[in-house]
Every structure is written in structure tokens, then in C-alpha cells.
Amino acid sequence: MPLSRRCTLGILFVSLVLGTATPALAAGDAANGKVLSYTCLGCHGIDNYKNVYPTYSVPELYGQHAAYLVAALKEYRSGERSHATMHMQAASLSDQDIEDIAAYFAGSELKPTKATVGTPPPKVAQLCVACHGADGVGIMGDYPTLAGQHADYLARALDEYKHGDRKNAVMPSFMTAVSEAEIQEIADYYSHQTPPLRTEPRRVTILSAQ
């Protein structure tokens, strides 16, 4: 290995070690996140794009809380949340990349922070509103916003928590008493709230220019 290359690696190593001594990441850079998200929009940027086997809608990300997006991406990266495609997508992302991507999808002024409640929540969802809000906007960054999320994605997530396929310290315990019929009711309720999470449109012009 040429000396200069070894020096570069040495510096990289030192900066990595020093890096761990300063754990605070720079706040997410939404502009860089937009660049990094180019491939993501191949699925998340197409309205009603479906996961195949099993078939359900790819979740809406635009307007979601940044803290939740960061947690979700780190869980896919580590494999704690299992989904082969999303693991592949997240595997090569650094912590800073994830912060940047989350800042981009979270948006700022476009967040549905004042969603309308619409019809009263079904009885069974009265437990849920303590964290996810009666308006479907998570009351804290760690609690995902559900307003306007695809109903089939919500139902699938709830089913996974109920049957232990998606692990989490909080959610599964809330699902034990919820029946399959009630899962559909809840998914229907949250998916109809506005203003919803959205699909950030794929940049077709950039695509065709390449």
C-alpha cells in the first residue's frame, strides 16, 4: 500500500476515534438529505407504490417526525426491524446521512402539526391518542405521526406488533386487546385524517436528464 494511502487511513482512523469522543451529530442537513434520498423516492416518491409479497403500500414519509425516521432507519440498518429491502437501503447510511435524510423528509413548515380530528376516534383508539394524538400527529418526536398514512400499511404494522413480527418496547402490549376487526377500524380512522403525511414526488425531470 502506498505511504500516502496509509497516511490517509491513519488520519481517517484517528478522526473516527476522535469522532466517538464527540457523539453530538450536526443537526440534519435537509439539502444533503434530499440528495441522499434520490434512490428512496424510487419507491417512497411514487403514489400508492406497493411492497410485493405481501402486498401493502410503501409508507408515506413526508411530514413524519425526524426523530421517528432516525429511529426507524437505524433499526432497519441493525436488522432489529426486519425488512430485507429496507435493510439493504439503510445498510450503507452513516448516522449523519440518516439525520440528513430525516431532516429532509420531516420538512419544516409543511408538517401536519394541526391536523383535523375529523370523526371521533373509535372506542378502541382511545388508548392510542395519548401518544399518537386524536389528530394522528404524534405528541413527541419518537411517536410516529399516523394522520393520512396508508390504511393497509397501518393495518400491517399493527398486525405485526400484535403477532410479535415487529418488536418494540411499547406497541405490542397495546395490541394484545385489539382484535383484527378493530385494527381495520383504527387504520381507517387515522388514514382519513388531514392534512396527511405525503408522498414527496419523484423528480422526473432530473431522472430524464440523466
Residue the block writes with cell 432489529:
80
- Report d(CA 122, CA 150) in Å as an integer: 18
Residues 6+ apart with CB under 8 A from 129: 121
Rg (CA), the chain: 19
Q: Decide: is 115 part of the binding site for ligand HEC (CB under 6 A).
A: no
Contact predicate 109/133, CB 8 Å: no
What is the sign of the dihedral through the CA atoms of 21, 24, 29 and 32? Answer: positive
Are 153 and 196 in contact by the 8 Å Cβ rule? The answer is: no
Q: Does residue 106 touch ligand HEC according to CB under 6 A?
A: no
Residue of 7, 12, 46, 130 that binds ligand HEC (CB under 6 A)? 130
Options 128, 134, 137, 147; binder of ligand HEC; rule CB under 6 A: 128
Residue 151 found at the interface with ligand HEC (CB under 6 A): no
Shortest distance, CB of residue 87 to ligand HEC, whole angstroms? 10
Please report whether residue 66 would count as binding ligand HEC according to CB under 6 A. Answer: no
CB of 35: closest distance to ligand HEC in angstroms? 11
| Residues contributing to the site for ligand HEC (CB under 6 A) | 37, 39-40, 42-44, 51, 58-59, 61, 69, 71-73, 83, 85-86, 89, 101, 125, 127-128, 130-132, 142-144, 146, 154, 157-158, 166, 168, 170-171, 174, 178, 186
